[in-house]
Structure 1
Amino acid sequence: MDGTGARNPVMLSRGLRIPKHPQITTGRMRGALREGTYERKECDAVTRVVRPGDRVLELGGGIGYLSTLLAVRKKVGRVVSYEANPALIPYIASLLAANAVTTVEVRNALLTPEGGDPVDFHLRRNFLGSSMDREADPESIVETVKVDRDRLGDVLSEVAPDVLVCDIEGAEATLLPAGDWSGLRCAVIELHPQWIGQCGVEAVFDAMHRAGLTYFPKASEGKVVTFRRGW
Structure 2
Amino acid sequence: MRFPRHPDIIKGRVRKLLRTNAYEQKETEAALRVVRAGDTVLELGGGIGYMSTLLATKRPIRSIHSFEANPHLIPYIREVHAANGVTNAHVTNAILGPNEGGIDFYVRDPMLGSSLAVLEGEVDPPSVKVDVLDAKQVFKDIKPTVLICDIEGAEADLIPHLDLSGLRAAVLETHPQWIGPKGINAVMQAFMDAGLAYYHRGSHGKVLCFRTDW
Task: Please state which band the TM-score falls in when normalised by the shorter chain.
Answer: over 0.9
- Aligned residue among 14, 33, 39 for 2:18: 33
Distance 1:26 1:139 in 2: 26
Distance 1:139 1:31 in 2: 32
After superposition, the Cα gap between the structure-2 partners of 1:134 and 1:211, relative to the gap in structure 1 and judged at 3 Å, is closer
- Aligned residue among 176, 183, 188 for 2:166: 183
Deviations 1:49-76, CA, capped at 9 Å, x for gaps: 1002110010011111001000001121
SS in 1 for 2:41: strand
Distance 1:130 1:120 in 2: 11
Distance 1:139 1:176 in 2: 28
Task: Supply the AA of the counterpart residue of 1:132.
Answer: L
Deviations 1:77-129, CA, capped at 9 Å, x for gaps: 111101000011111011000001111110100111222x2222233453323
Q: Which structure has the greater CA radius of gyration?
A: 1
- Aligned residue among 71, 75, 79 for 2:60: 75
Q: Which moved more, 1:118-127 or 1:60-69?
A: 118-127
User: What is aligned with 1:20?
Assistant: 5
Higher relative contact order (CA 8 A, sep 6+): 2
Task: Supply the AA of the counterpart residue of 2:91.
Answer: V
Percent identical residues: 52
TM-score (norm 1): 0.87
Alignment length, in residue pairs? 213
User: What is aligned with 1:11?
Assistant: none
User: What is aligned with 1:98?
Assistant: 83
User: What is aligned with 1:212?
Assistant: 195
TM-score (norm 2): 0.94
Please provide the CA RMSD for this pair. 1.5
- Asked if 2 retains the 8 angstrom alpha-carbon contact of 1:17 and 1:98, the reply is yes
Unmatched runs of 5 consecutive residues or more in structure 1: 1-15
Give the alignment of 1:72-221 within 5 angstroms.
72-115=57-100, 117-134=101-118, 137-138=122-123, 141=126, 144-221=127-204
After superposition, the Cα gap between the structure-2 partners of 1:149 and 1:140, relative to the gap in structure 1 and judged at 3 Å, is closer
Unmatched runs of 5 consecutive residues or more in structure 2: none
- Asked if 2 retains the 8 angstrom alpha-carbon contact of 1:125 and 1:140, the reply is no
**Deviation, structure 1 residue 22:** 1.0
SS in 1 for 2:46: coil
